[in-house]
Structure 1
Amino acid sequence: MVRTKKLPQRMCVGCREMKNKRDLIRVVRTPEGEIAVDPTGKKSGRGAYICPRLECLNQAIKGKRLQKALEHDIPDEVISSLQKKIAEIEL
């Protein structure tokens, strides 16, 4: 009998839907306090997940959900890098 492997689920901070972890983009606050996009999903620190859609990113920023999830203010450089990454994925 073949076992099916469970896929980890995470909630998008923008649309608040549960999705597969691999389908989401991880933003991490490292123990040093730096905020960065984590393409591997393995950096240590507090993470927040967001769908690769601009609507979700805008909702997360407007509602300050990303800041609350990471317990820190989000620099403009991180927001612009997220927007670029999402634009690449949407194409």
Structure 2
Amino acid sequence: MKPNLRRCISCGKVAPKAAFWRIVRVHPSHQLQLDQGMGRSAYICPQADCLKTAQKKNRLGRTLRAPVPPSVYDSLWQRLAQNDHRTVNT
């Protein structure tokens, strides 16, 4: 069985779905949420460079065809900081 491959909206890297963070525009409410839900999705690498580029160039907004509130980026930056913190401690 083939793995579910996805592409990062920022750097274009192709990898298994589990290697990315998923941002979803939920149908029909058009609310954005992380990781779960049915609707239009975007995938991004859990790296500072990819997140910075996606935010600066509005790649999430264009891919999801919806405005992205700052709270979504704040959540992603916090998640990145937690991942970095865990990596340093192990």
TM-score bracket, shorter-length normalisation: 0.7 to 0.9
Equivalent position of 1:35 in the other structure: 32
Partner amino acid for 1:70?
L
Equivalent position of 1:6 in the other structure: 2
- Alignment RMSD (CA, Å): 1.1
Partner amino acid for 2:20?
L
Superposition TM-score, scaled by structure 2 size: 0.86
Superposition TM-score, scaled by structure 1 size: 0.85
Equivalent position of 2:58 in the other structure: 64
**Within the alignment, does 1:17 sit opposite 2:6 as a pair?**
no
Tell me which of the two structures has the higher relative contact order, counting C-alpha pairs closer than 8 angstroms and 6 or more residues apart.
Answer: 1
Name the SS of the counterpart of 2:41 in structure 1. strand
Cα offset, 1:87, TM superposition: 1.6
**Within the alignment, does 1:26 sit opposite 2:17 as a pair?**
no
Number of equivalences: 84
| Identity rate, percent | 33
User: Which runs of 5 or more residues in structure 2 are unaligned?
Assistant: 86-90
More helix by share: 2
Name the SS of the counterpart of 1:47 in structure 2. strand
**Within the alignment, does 1:48 sit opposite 2:42 as a pair?**
yes
